[in-house]
Every structure is written in C-alpha cells, then in structure tokens.
Amino acid sequence: MNTYKTEATTQLAADIKAAGYRVFIAKRGTYGFYTDAEGSRVVSFQFDLGGFKFSGNYKSKTCGTGWQLEDGSFEGMFNQNAPQWAVCGADVKYTTLDQHLATYQQSSQYVEV
C-alpha cells in the first residue's frame, strides 16, 4: 500500500542514504532505522503525528531501551549520547545492527535500501 507515509519514508531513506548511512525500512513502509557502514549503532525512525520521530537505541537490563533524539543532522543524531536521566546513570551499550536485527527482523521484516 502506497500512502503519503510510505512516500515520505522512502524520501527520508533516500536522504539518509545520500548522507552516507545504511538504511533499513520495515515491510510496513512507515518506519525503519539507519546505521553506519560498520553497524556500530542504530537510529530508529518512524512517521508519526507531525512528521518523523527519531530514537537512539541501547541495551540495558535496568533502564529501558532508548530515548527520543533531538532533531538535527543525521550525523548529529547518530552520534548523540543517551542522556543520564534516560539510562539512570548506568553504563549502557548502544544497540548494534546485528542486535537490532536479531531482536526485530522477524516482526518488522526490514529490507536494506
């Protein structure tokens, strides 16, 4: 189904890819994530009310799995660190490409664009 949300997501993916990142879109077509060439960490995005929302992702046993990123450049969002309030002062590891796919690939059916 091709809707304004999927069209906007396709355009966003093209913009992110042009900035030098690898981009993955879910089968549904309205959300996805991007990573660097090494897959060192991921930034998730989804079309929501008012446009796209971006999230950083981390692994933690005590304090959630991510935080909403401030709008900015794709590089700036990619390199943003989790705020201390989000991680409860814990030393967290950012979610890698392999970890993200292992957790969500079956349900989201991501395709690299």
Mean pLDDT, rounded, for 36-40: 98
Q: Are 77 and 65 in contact (CB under 8 A)?
A: no
Q: What single letter denotes the amino acid at residue 76?
A: G
Q: Assign 65 a pLDDT band (cuts: 50, 70, 90).
A: confident
Give per-residue pLDDT as tens, 69-87: 987 899 999 999 988 888 8
Mean pLDDT, rounded, for 84-103: 89
Give per-residue pLDDT as tens, 52-63: 999 999 988 778
Give, in order, the Cα–Cα distances in Å from 111 to each of 7, 10, 29, 61, 70: 16, 12, 10, 28, 26
Residue 1 has pLDDT above 80, yes or no: no
Give, in order, the Cα–Cα distances in Å from 28 to each of 1, 32, 82: 8, 9, 28
* Site of tokens 């660190």: 81
Query: Where are the chain's structural domains?
Result: 4-105
